Each structure stands twice: as C-alpha cells, then as structure tokens.
C-alpha cells in the first residue's frame, strides 16, 4: 500500500557511519501504548507472558492480546533497553505470527524509524509484527547507534547481537510469535546491523533486508553456519553509504551462499531494478535492488532528507514478498 507523506514541520538528518548520518523526526506515533519493565506482560508473575502460570512461553493468549502500538523496556547487560512494537490490526494471540525487526540508523531512534519506513501500515496489511529496537548512545556525541562492525558504535565490545537475541526471547513472552519467521531490516546503520545478525545469528533470523547499509565486518570474520536469504536495497547515488558497498556486500554474500553464474533480473519498474542469484548451493537466494539516481533513502516512502525518493520500488512490500517466498513452502 502506498502512502504519500506530507511533512511540514519536520527536519530529518539521517546519519550513517563516518558521516553515514541519520536524524529524523517522529510522526507523532500514537495509539494503544503501554510500558513495562519487561519479563512478564500478563500479570501472573511467571515471566512467560502466556497467562498459564507455568513459566513456559506459549500462544495461549500471551501478554498482549490485541493489535496496536506498545513500548517496552528490556534489561540487558546491566542497562535498561527499550523497544517499540506494532501488532497488526488482526493480530490473533493464539496464532504464531511472523516478526520483522526494523533497526534505525545512526543518530536516529525507534520513533523516527517508524515514520521513515512506514512499516506499521505494511504490518497491518500483511499480518506481521514489526519491532523497532532502540540503539545506545555513543559516549562522544550521544548519537544512538548499533555495533555492527565498522558502523557505528564507539564501543566495539557492545553486544547488540546479544540484545537482539534477548529481544526476540522477550517477544516470545509478550506475544504469539513464529520463531521460524523472524526477519531483520533496517536503514543505514540499521542495515549494517541486519548484516551483522545474518553473519552472527542466522539461527535467530530467517532472512535479512538491509536498506542503504552494508556488510560492516570482513568477509573472513563473517562466517555463518548457515547463509540465510538476503535482499539488499540501495540507491545508486547514496552519498553516505556508497552504492559500491552494496555491490561488494551482496557479491560477498552470494559467494558465501555458493551462488554461481550471473544474477537474473527479477524486477524492473521505472528507475528500479532487482537482480537475484537463485542457483546457490550453500544458502541464499541473494538479491540486490538498485534504484537509479536515488540518495540515502527508503524507497517507497516519498519523504527523503537527501533529495527525492521514488515509489518505483516499494521497499516494504518487496522485502516482505522476498521473506515469504524464500522461507515458507
């Protein structure tokens, strides 16, 4: 579904690594919002959120029983972290539901990623849960970030992969999720984070869809036991994360997946094309969607702080179709 964003008093400066920048503004997200210190969610004190008091996760109602927007806290590593989540309008607490983790960029935050990606609308249309984690501030300038190798945390020891694991466990307590259909996407530094999860936690996520990001660790350091499906979306004139980084990242992922031959064009509309490696012996498939003349944007959402975006490629719909096609049936 398409939405044209009308922005009046909004100023977004998206920052990525080393200038890969992101700032943004919130769209005034509101609705059924609640807070928690994490853990239980159903009030019975057993920590599992399923309401049966036995301490085991389940889908017997869960801690959250209806669609809407929620804010939760999650203690991890001696720090209270936060995330926002949107349950689709037709959410059924008795039916295992897919999850998309949507990571914001450097200098941005969860509420801005909600606005910038407009994924809540896709969540309602397609029936998946979307979760927006909050990064931690860098000590030097306070900009929130993810530790995804070269981009963008100032503390290389920060365990954001561990936080992602704890977050999915917490989601399992709060809602009825399908652990076999947990996916990752993100913008800029959030795209780097999706690559990091693909490298270090392929048991956690079933597929990844980085947008305007790149692989932030060396190809030798990235040594996953399983090479999961990956679709990368990138503008060809990105001034913060060069398009060449998208090409080298997807080439490296295709090599890890044992893909042979040239990728085949699977999408062509206006200024957008997608090519895919399907003949992959070790994993995959791997797909690169290129948007000609587009800067550091989330294609499909018309607001972009760096020039103009396009609806020739609707990122949310394209990645969701890829997730479903490559991980089910």
Return the bridge partners of 264, or none.
276
Unique residue bearing structure tokens 């079933």 = 206
In a domain, residue 29? The reply is no
CATH number of the domain to which 268 belongs: 3.40.50.1820
| Arithmetic mean of pLDDT, 212-227 | 97
pLDDT band at 274 (very low <50, low <70, confident <90, very high): very high
Contact 109, 83 (CB under 8 A): no
32, part of any domain: no
Q: How would you label 30-68 residue by residue, b for 16+ Cβ within 10 Å and e otherwise?
A: eeeeeebebbbbbebebebbbbeeeeebbbbbbbbbebb
Residue 95 falls within a domain, yes or no?
yes
Least confident range from 6-10, 84-88, 126-130: namely: 6-10
Task: Tell me the average pLDDT across 219-231.
Answer: 97
Q: What tens digit of pLDDT does each residue of 95-129 get?
A: 999 999 999 999 999 999 999 999 999 999 999 99
Q: Which domain holds residue 198?
A: 69-327
Q: Is residue 238 part of a domain?
A: yes
262, part of any domain? yes
Between CA 213 and CA 318 the distance in angstroms is 17
40 falls in which pLDDT band (50, 70, 90)?
very low
pLDDT given for residue 102 in this prediction: 98
Let me know if residue 20 belongs to a domain: no
Say whether pLDDT at 322 is over 70.
yes
User: Number of structural domains, the chain?
Assistant: 1
The answer to whether residue 18 sits within a structural domain is: no
Residues 277-301: pLDDT tens digits? 999 999 999 999 999 999 999 999 9
Q: Residue 28 domain-assigned? A: no
pLDDT tens-digit series, residues 117-171: 999 999 999 999 999 999 999 987 889 999 999 999 999 999 999 999 999 999 9
Indicate if the pLDDT at residue 21 is higher than 70.
Answer: no
């Amino acid at each position: 579904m398409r939405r044209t964003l009308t922005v009046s008093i909004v100023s977004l400066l998206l920052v990525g690594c080393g200038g890969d920048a992101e700032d943004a503004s919130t769209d005034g997200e509101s609705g059924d919002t609640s807070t928690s210190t994490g853990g239980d969610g159903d009030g019975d004190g057993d920590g599992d959120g399923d309401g049966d008091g036995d301490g085991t996760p389940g889908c017997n109602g869960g801690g959250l029983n209806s669609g809407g927007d929620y804010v939760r806290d999650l203690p991890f590593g001696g720090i209270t972290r936060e995330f926002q989540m949107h349950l689709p309008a037709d959410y059924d607490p008795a039916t295992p539901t897919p999850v998309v983790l949507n990571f914001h960029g450097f200098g941005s935050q969860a509420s801005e990623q909600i606005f910038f990606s407009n994924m809540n609308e896709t969540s309602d249309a397609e029936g998946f849960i979307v979760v927006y984690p909050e990064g931690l501030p860098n000590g030097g300038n306070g900009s929130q970030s993810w530790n995804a190798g070269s981009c963008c945390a100032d503390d290389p020891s920060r365990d954001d992969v561990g936080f992602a694991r704890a977050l999915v466990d917490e989601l399992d307590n709060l809602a009825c999720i399908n652990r076999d259909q947990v996916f990752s996407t993100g913008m800029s530094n959030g795209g780097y984070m999706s690559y990091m999860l693909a490298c270090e936690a392929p048991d956690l996520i079933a597929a990844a869809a980085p947008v305007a990001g790149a692989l932030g660790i060396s190809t030798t350091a990235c040594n996953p036991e399983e090479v999961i499906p990956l679709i990368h979306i990138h503008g060809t004139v990105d001034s913060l994360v060069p398009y060449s980084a998208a090409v080298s990242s997807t080439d490296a992922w295709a090599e890890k997946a044992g893909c042979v031959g040239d990728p085949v064009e699977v999408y062509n509309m206006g200024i957008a094309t997608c090519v895919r490696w399907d003949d992959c012996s070790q994993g995959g498939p791997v797909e690169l969607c290129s948007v000609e003349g587009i800067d550091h944007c989330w294609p499909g959402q018309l607001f972009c702080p760096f020039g103009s975006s396009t609806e020739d490629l609707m990122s949310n719909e394209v990645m969701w179709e890829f997730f479903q096609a490559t991980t089910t049936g």
